[in-house]
Amino acid sequence: MRLLLLEDDTMIGKALRQGLQHEGHSVDWLQDGALAEHAVDTTQYDLVILDLGLPGKDGIRVLTDLRRRENPLPVIITTARDQLDDRVRGLDLGADDYLVKPFDLDELLARIRAVARRHHGRAHDLLQQGPVELNPATHEVRLEGKPVALSAREFALLLTLMERPKATVSRTQLEERLYGWDEEIASNAVEVHIHHLRKKLGERFIHTIRGLGYTLDPGVR
């Protein structure tokens, strides 16, 4: 997933970004709340991890402004233990979940999956389309029951398509989801990942819609 991380504490921010990237997410990290609005206007995120105590613009205002502009982007707020009132306000203002610091990376990852699942209207974690089964929690992918090994980016790309089985996703949207601001992207990176996925999952599982992007084979979804 493409995540926006708002966290002013350098140590926490670095650790979170590293842990989230390790899990295969692409992460843009900002330390100033005043920069949030421009970021969400210019980049299509799947989810925001929002610290409430931020310089520039505090997290409550970031969230208020987001919802005032009717942006439904999922938000998980992170707070210090003594900010109970803000936590309640955050949920009232439309946050999807919250975590109290210090928290385990594993717990954040599980909350991200749960929020994404609800956002996409799914009852459980496992995604299945035709012969392919994908488990976002364990990163296991199976083809007709047999495990398939994917790279982190191949997995992220497949997850993006399987979360929106009827949509056509453009190359730009896939690049946005797979790579953060600070990463170099080869112009054919998405094509290369798709090529590898087709080798592993069958040539027909992912369709190219010329000029528009990629979608799952209508026969399997």
Cβ proximity to Ca ion, 100 vs 220, nearer residue = 100
CA distances for 216 relative to 90, 109, 169, angstroms: 37, 26, 10
Q: CA of 62: how far to CAs of 1, 14, 27, 80, in Å?
A: 21, 21, 18, 17
Q: Which residue's CB atom is positioned nearest to Ca ion?
A: 53
CB of 192 to Ca ion, least distance (A): 39
Number of residues engaging Ca ion in binding (CB under 5 A): 3
Tokens 């069958």 appear where? 202
Q: Considering the rule CB under 5 A, would residue 8 count as an interface residue with Ca ion? A: yes
Q: Do 35 and 62 meet the contact criterion of CB atoms below 8 Å apart?
A: no
Contact status: 86 vs Ca ion (CB under 5 A):
no
CA angle 137, 141, 144 (to 5 degrees): 135
Residues 6+ apart with CB under 8 A from 197: 150, 154, 157, 158, 205, 206
Q: Which region among 4-12, 27-35, 96-104, 159-167 touches Ca ion (by CB under 5 A)?
A: 4-12
Task: Tell me how far, at minimum, the Cβ of 9 lies from Ca ion, in Å.
Answer: 5
Interface map 32-71 toward Ca ion (x if CB under 5 A): -------------------x-x------------------
Please provide the size of the chain in residues. 221
In angstroms, give the least distance from the CB of 53 to Ca ion.
Answer: 4
Q: Answer yes or no whether residue 163 interacts with Ca ion by CB under 5 A.
A: no
The site map against Ca ion for 88-107 (x = CB under 5 A) is: --------------------
